[in-house]
C-alpha cells in the first residue's frame, strides 16, 4: 500500500527541463549528426584511394591542451557561481574566454602551417576534409566565445549566482561539448591519417 502511494506521487511529478536548455540540447544533437556524417565521409573518401597522407600540425596538440584547460576553467566558473564566489567566477570566465580566443588563433596557425606544406582547401580531398572539419569546429567555437563574453558580462552585473545559473549552465554545456568534440576530431584525425 505504501509502495502504491509512493509510485503515485512519483508518477504525478513530470520531468521538465528549461526550454532554452532543451533547445541547446537539440542543437547539440544536430551538430553531432553533422560531424558524424563528415567523419564518415572522411573514412569513405580515404578508402577510395587518391589520398594524400600528411602529418597534422603541431599546433593541433597545443590547441588540444588549450581546450582541455579551458574546459577545466569553465568548470571552475560553474563551481564558483554555485558558491556565490563572484570574483573567482569572473576570473574563471575571463580565463576561459582568453583560452577560447587562443584556440581560435591557434587554428589560424594550424591552417597556415598546412597551407605552407601544400595542403590546401582546394586540391586533394584529404586536405579539403581536414580544413572542413577544423573550420566548422572553429565556427562553432566563435559562437562559444561570444556566449562566454555574454555570460561574463552578466557576471559583471551579478546576474550569475547560485539562484540564477541557467545562462552559465548552458554556456558550460556548450563549451564542454566543443572541447569534447575537438578531442574527438583530433583523435579521429590522428588515427585516420
The predicted-structure confidence for 10-20, as pLDDT tens digits, reads as follows 556 666 778 88
C-alpha span between 159 and 86 (Å, rounded): 10
Read off the pLDDT of residues 131-154 as tens digits, 9 standing for 90 and up. 999 999 999 999 999 999 999 999
pLDDT category of residue 53 using cuts at 50, 70 and 90: confident
Which domains, from first to last, does the chain contain? 59-193 (1.20.120.80)
Integer Rg of the chain from CA: 21
C-alpha span between 176 and 37 (Å, rounded): 21
Phi and psi angles of residue 63, each rounded to the nearest 5 degrees, phi first: -60, -35
Amino acid at each position: 500500500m505504501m509502495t502504491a502511494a509512493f509510485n503515485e506521487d512519483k508518477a504525478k511529478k513530470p520531468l521538465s527541463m528549461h526550454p532554452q536548455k532543451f533547445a541547446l540540447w537539440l542543437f547539440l544533437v544536430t551538430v553531432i549528426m553533422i560531424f558524424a556524417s563528415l567523419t564518415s565521409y572522411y573514412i569513405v573518401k580515404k578508402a577510395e584511394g587518391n589520398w594524400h597522407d600528411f602529418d597534422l600540425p603541431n599546433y593541433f596538440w597545443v590547441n588540444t591542451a588549450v581546450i582541455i584547460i579551458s574546459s577545466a576553467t569553465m568548470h571552475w566558473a560553474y563551481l564558483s557561481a554555485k558558491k556565490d564566489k563572484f570574483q573567482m567566477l569572473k576570473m574563471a570566465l575571463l580565463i576561459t574566454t582568453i583560452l577560447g580566443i587562443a584556440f581560435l588563433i591557434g587554428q589560424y596557425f594550424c591552417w597556415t602551417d598546412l597551407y605552407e606544406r601544400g595542403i590546401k582547401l582546394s586540391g586533394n580531398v584529404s586536405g579539403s576534409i581536414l580544413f572542413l572539419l577544423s573550420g566548422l569546429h572553429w565556427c562553432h567555437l566563435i559562437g562559444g566565445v561570444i556566449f562566454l563574453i555574454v555570460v561574463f558580462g552578466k557576471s559583471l552585473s551579478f546576474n550569475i549566482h547560485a539562484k540564477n545559473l541557467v545562462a552559465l549552465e548552458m554556456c558550460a554545456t556548450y563549451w564542454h561539448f566543443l572541447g569534447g568534440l575537438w578531442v574527438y576530431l583530433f583523435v579521429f584525425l590522428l588515427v585516420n591519417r
